[in-house]
């Protein structure tokens, strides 16, 4: 989970284009969900991962890095 979080933060830092705003919002949402899960592992577990997957799925068609992050989360 922590590796996926780091990958998302790295992808977000590379976004510079205004057209990336929607993608950035979904990544920020997924980061928030995963940060909460890392801080309090007992809080959501599979539910937190599912919510993060949904956010990342919306951005998947735009960012190849998201595919790797989804793979990291599923481990």
Query: Quick one: pLDDT band at residue 72, thresholds 50, 70, 90?
Result: confident
pLDDT tens digit string along 15-58? 766 557 778 888 889 999 989 888 887 766 678 888 888 888 88
Task: For the full predicted model, state whether its pTM sits above 0.85.
Answer: no
Domain ranges of the chain: 2-73
Q: Which pLDDT band holds residue 62 (cuts at 50, 70, 90)?
A: low
What are the start-end ranges of the H helices in the chain? Answer: 2-13, 21-39, 46-60, 64-73
Cα distance between residue 43 and residue 70, in whole Å: 20
Rounded CA-CA distance 21/42 in Å is 31
b/e per residue 50-75 (b: at least 16 CB within 10 A)? ebbbebbebbbeebebbeebbebbee
CB atoms within 10 A of CB 33: 22
pLDDT at 29: 92
């Amino acid at each position: 989970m922590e590796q996926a979080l780091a990958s998302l933060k790295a992808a977000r830092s590379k976004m510079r284009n205004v057209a990336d705003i929607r993608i950035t919002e979904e990544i920020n949402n997924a980061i928030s969900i995963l940060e909460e899960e890392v801080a309090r592992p007992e809080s959501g577990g599979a539910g937190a991962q599912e919510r993060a997957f949904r956010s990342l799925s919306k951005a998947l068609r735009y960012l190849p890095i998201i595919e790797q992050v989804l793979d990291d989360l599923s481990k």
